Amino acid sequence: MSEFSKEVVDLVWGRPNSSGMSPSLFRRWTQGFVFSETEPTALEQFEGGPCAIIVPVQAFLLKNMLFNFENSNWRELSAALAAEDLGFERFHSLIHKRTLNSVCELREAVLSLYDSWRNKFGVLLFLYSVILTKGIENIRNEIEDTTEPLIDPVYGHGSQSLINLLVSGRAVSNVWDGDRECSGMKLKGINEQATVGFLTLMESLRYCKVGSCLKSPKFPVWILGSETHLSVFFTKELALVAPESPSEQARRVFQTYDPEDNGFIPDTLLEDVMKALDLVSEPEYVNLMKSKLDPESLGIVLLGSFLMEFFPEQDSGIPDSFPVYHYNGLKQSNHNEKVCYVEGTALVLGFEDPMVRTDDTPVKRCLQTKWPYIELLWTTERSPSLN
């Protein structure tokens, strides 16, 4: 195994223990970029693990098909290949590095190697190419725990650092905006608006809080994370990623002072929130607002009351309803075990309306971390699966 190859292997798989790499875990990652026979623009995932690569690639494919091409028939494309069965050591002894000096050269090389991306090792070749392009040392400098490999050596799942690397170009371990200080340690997050977004069920369970850089991307395509898998939610409705309205900005700022997502803040923080939003914040006026927003003197200010007082009836610009789609690359997670986009209709409301309440599903709970009052009506009998 060459020296560069060993460095990449250590970064991705971790330093080998006495028992070596599990053949079954490596086998799960040996697949190419293969398109579904029933949905020609949807990539298939054969086993658990490589969704950390396949799903971000799928998200960018969808972004390009929906918004970069004139062709309205975005659900058309073509299919896949097979390759020699190689073990872990043999595969890594055969790969070699090629350096390209311009984007033009890179584009030509990628196209000339198209069959290699589609064969059995395409996903790993793509991953190693991304790592070498970014630079091994650059990645190590961004990862919080350098002893943690990009692929879990026991379960085979891609780390958050790997997902962030593919989505944002930074191999950081966190999903919040910017960098934070904690007990003298610098914890790195996402530092600019992503092209495609990321939402996670873990936020609905209060394990983390995704920042606006990932939550509000440039295009309406979101990777959705469950406990063990990734999928994609997308739409052609660009109003979903339009610049924040004043009320949306107010909600976001208010929530930065409510890190536990309680839906309220102590009234002592009201002045800070008002200053952050450039509202009148003279002490007398703030005290008047405290009395109005907290008439029972509980010492808290509710998010809903705050928005109704300062940003009443603001139109977000989002249509009442619009078509949406969900992608899951695992056959067994799709109806009739055929990888297809599931179509539906979304309603994004500014309040809870019991008249249009739909079933509580993991997909909906994941999306509610961005749109608290979203409702989803799918064309299939069962809702799409996050897993």
Say if residues 173 and 160 touch (Cβ distance below 8 Å): yes
* H or E segment to which residue 329 belongs: none
**Of 51, 213, 340, 366, catalytic:** 51
Q: How far apart, in whole angstroms, are the C-alpha atoms of residue 369 and residue 223?
A: 13
* Residue 294 one-letter amino acid: D
Q: What is the spatial distance between Cα 183 and Cα 160, in angstroms, rounded to a whole number?
A: 22
Q: Work out the end-to-end distance of the chain between its first and last CA atoms, rounded to an integer number of angstroms.
A: 36
**Distance of alpha carbon 193 from alpha carbon 382, whole angstroms:** 33
92 classed as catalytic = no
Active-site pick, 213, 229, 326, 366 = 229
- The strand pair at 197-200 and 221-225 is best described as parallel
Length of the chain: 387
Question: How open is the CA angle 271-349-176, to the nearest 5 degrees?
Answer: 55
Structure tokens at 232: 């994609």
Residue type at 148 in one-letter notation: E
The answer to whether 326 is a known catalytic residue is: no
Q: Distance between CA 43 and CA 286 in Å, rounded?
A: 54
The whole-angstrom separation of Cα 330 and Cα 132 is 28
Contacts of 210 (CB under 8 A, 6+ apart): 175, 176, 198, 199, 200, 203, 369
Which residues participate in catalysis according to the annotation? Answer: 51, 229
